[in-house]
Structure 1
Amino acid sequence: MKCIKLTEKCFYFQGAVNIGYIMSGNYGMLIDAGLDPQTAKKVCRQLTAQGFPLSHLFITHAHADHYGGAAYIQENHPVHTYASKEEAAILTNPILEPLYLFQGNKPLPELRNKFLEGAPIIIDEVVTEGKHQFGDVLFECMAFPGHSLMQLGVIVDGILFAADAYFGAEQIKKHKIPYIIDAEDTLKSLEKLLTIECLGAVPGHGNYEEAFQETVKLNIEYHHYVLSVLLDILSSSPHTHEQVIQKMCRHFGVNPSSLSSWLLFRTAIMAYATMLIKDQKAEMVIEDAILYLKS
């Protein structure tokens, strides 16, 4: 992973999942920890090689690709770890992620993989939206729910580490149906991003951009497009839960071949459906013990 300097205090390790880093004097804080111990080990080696301190760890949200390397960091460095209360519940009990994806049933062994369930970690301090401090560094947390229950972004020295509040253009093109748990919250978080004044932003997936607002607008447009496709599907006739997922996947050219990927697409699609239901543009009905969605 390449370490890129943004300001005197802010850096980020560019990779499939970006990891932020803030340094001041004897203090250094990583923002997220990557997918697994191997990723975390590479980052820690680079910090050590450059003589950069590691005293704190901030986890933006409890998805395994962002915290899977955190246990390694905690085992090998005396870090003080931050997270929101909601995300901390999963970070300390990681089985909760495959559990909720599997509709509350105890997950099958194939769902207990490193992409859905990282090693449990200790959260030393629960943080909320607002200003906080580590060492002599003042940082601000901003709530960006929608992709997860209470994802927090971090602003330091004019740089916004936005986590998965928005995705880079290439990531949207790649995944077709972005993973979210609440479309309404996702769009509100994106609109909030447009109000933030800063030098630039680092998304969880994608490149640092000074004019990141254009990418945020692209995200907003794309989510509205997904909503319109879903509403169009539902307008023809009532569809079962599985038919909705099938038609959405066919439309966007995705073909989930594993249970894990199918559940992720199912969750995202139902997040869009839930917004349509809240907006009274769609409804759920149960007939003969079958769940249908219709406009």
Structure 2
Amino acid sequence: MPELIQVNEDIYYLSDHQNYGIIKTAGNECAVVDTGMDDDSAQLILAALEAEKLKLSVVINTHSHADHYGGNNYLVKKTGCKVYAPAFEAAIMTNPSLEPFYIYGAEAPQELKQPFMMAKRSPVDKLLEEPSMVIRDKEFKVIPLPGHSPNQMGVIVDDVFFCGDSVFSLSAWNKLILIYMVNVGEMTKSIERLKRVAAKSFVPSHVTPTGDIIELADANLTKIQERVDDILHVLQVPAQTATVLWELCKKHGLAVTTLQQYYLCMDTLKAYLSFLLGEGLVTYDFDANRLMWRAVE
């Protein structure tokens, strides 16, 4: 079983398929940041807390993707803990069928309703809001980090910033090519905001924690710009959305083989197209009932 890794006196994280924050508070209680995809991740978290004789009082969710709140249901039933989550994200957590619905754009096929894309329903007891909140003896500063999801938020406690899915490793970028995001402009702003935060340690969900986030943040900004350049290059010739995805996959050697992968890529590509349209870099026409995107000369 993975053990808690100490960051400072009261702050820990548990690393499994992602990093879960553990914050000790007064009375031998604790708060947990994100809970993974399912009951298995919840059981791992709870076992680690029990080994340290910690009582879970609050779960803080950075956003509403299933792999970040899927353990909530189990933990609430077992411990009676409260759940704090950002507005909008909370609406999805309490109505989890919304996630495959908005990714697909209608009632989704069953393949899109698997645990990775539709977690068990979670209650939300309190909205996570700026500028800060207090849990027992700890103050949590709340930092907005939208882009990867509509209203993702991170928290800083005792100089440790749990920053959710605001940045990703270069290996993830190189593997996935289109890192999921719903708003490219907001994602870029969030990464820039991350660079300005004064914290001694940064704990992203899917990257090894670090004391200096600048290099990783800049690498993520570079990758976003690379995808922008890729899309603009493809759109020197008018193309449909699916054709743009096909060209990106061909260039980067990405094989799309499942509905989940296809729709996550398509949603992200559409986020880039919306961004480029707003920046005046692309436009669109209709040709024989086909929506055709093209770069602006």
Q: Give me the TM-score of the superposition, normalised by structure 1.
A: 0.97
Deviates more, 1:245-254 or 1:57-66: 245-254
The alignment status of 1:210 with 2:214, answered yes or no, reads no
CA distance in 2, matches of 1:31, 1:7: 16
One-letter code aligned to 2:279: D
CA distance in 2, matches of 1:132, 1:93: 25
- For residues 21-44 of structure 1, give each alpha carbon's deviation from its aligned partner in whole angstroms, at most 9, with x where no partner exists: 111222310000011101110110
One-letter code aligned to 1:112: K
One-letter code aligned to 2:217: V
Matched with 1:290 is 290
CA distance in 2, matches of 1:81, 1:267: 28
Matched with 1:34 is 36
The alignment status of 1:80 with 2:78, answered yes or no, reads no
Matched with 1:113 is 114
Deviates more, 1:200-209 or 1:8-17: 8-17
Shift of 1:172: 2.1
Secondary structure, counterpart of 2:286 in structure 1:
strand
CA distance in 2, matches of 1:172, 1:8: 33
CA distance in 1, matches of 2:289, 2:130: 43
CA distance in 2, matches of 1:15, 1:6: 16
- For residues 77-113 of structure 1, give each alpha carbon's deviation from its aligned partner in whole angstroms, at most 9, with x where no partner exists: 111110011100100001111001111x111111110
1:128-277 pair list within 5 angstroms: 128-235=129-236, 237-277=237-277
The alignment status of 1:45 with 2:47, answered yes or no, reads yes
- For residues 198-246 of structure 1, give each alpha carbon's deviation from its aligned partner in whole angstroms, at most 9, with x where no partner exists: 10101110100001211011111111111111111111x1001210111
Shift of 1:248: 1.4
CA distance in 1, matches of 2:254, 2:103: 19
Secondary structure, counterpart of 1:54 in structure 2:
strand
Shift of 1:154: 0.7
Shift of 1:17: 1.7
Is the contact made by 1:159 and 1:199 (CA closer than 8 Å) also made in structure 2?
A: yes
CA distance in 2, matches of 1:213, 1:52: 33
User: Unpaired segments of 5 or more residues in structure 2?
Assistant: none
- For residues 261-285 of structure 1, give each alpha carbon's deviation from its aligned partner in whole angstroms, at most 9, with x where no partner exists: 1000111111111111111000122
User: Unpaired segments of 5 or more residues in structure 1?
Assistant: none
Secondary structure, counterpart of 1:23 in structure 2:
strand
Secondary structure, counterpart of 2:59 in structure 1:
strand
* Count of aligned pairs between the two proteins: 293
Secondary structure, counterpart of 1:35 in structure 2:
coil
Deviates more, 1:113-122 or 1:266-275: 266-275
CA distance in 1, matches of 2:15, 2:204: 10
Shift of 1:174: 2.6
Shift of 1:5: 0.5
CA distance in 2, matches of 1:283, 1:16: 40
Please provide the CA RMSD for this pair: 1.0
Shift of 1:4: 0.8
Identity percentage over the alignment? 27
CA distance in 1, matches of 2:14, 2:39: 15
Matched with 1:58 is 60
Is the contact made by 1:68 and 1:118 (CA closer than 8 Å) also made in structure 2?
A: yes
Matched with 1:6 is 7
Q: Give me the TM-score of the superposition, normalised by structure 2.
A: 0.96
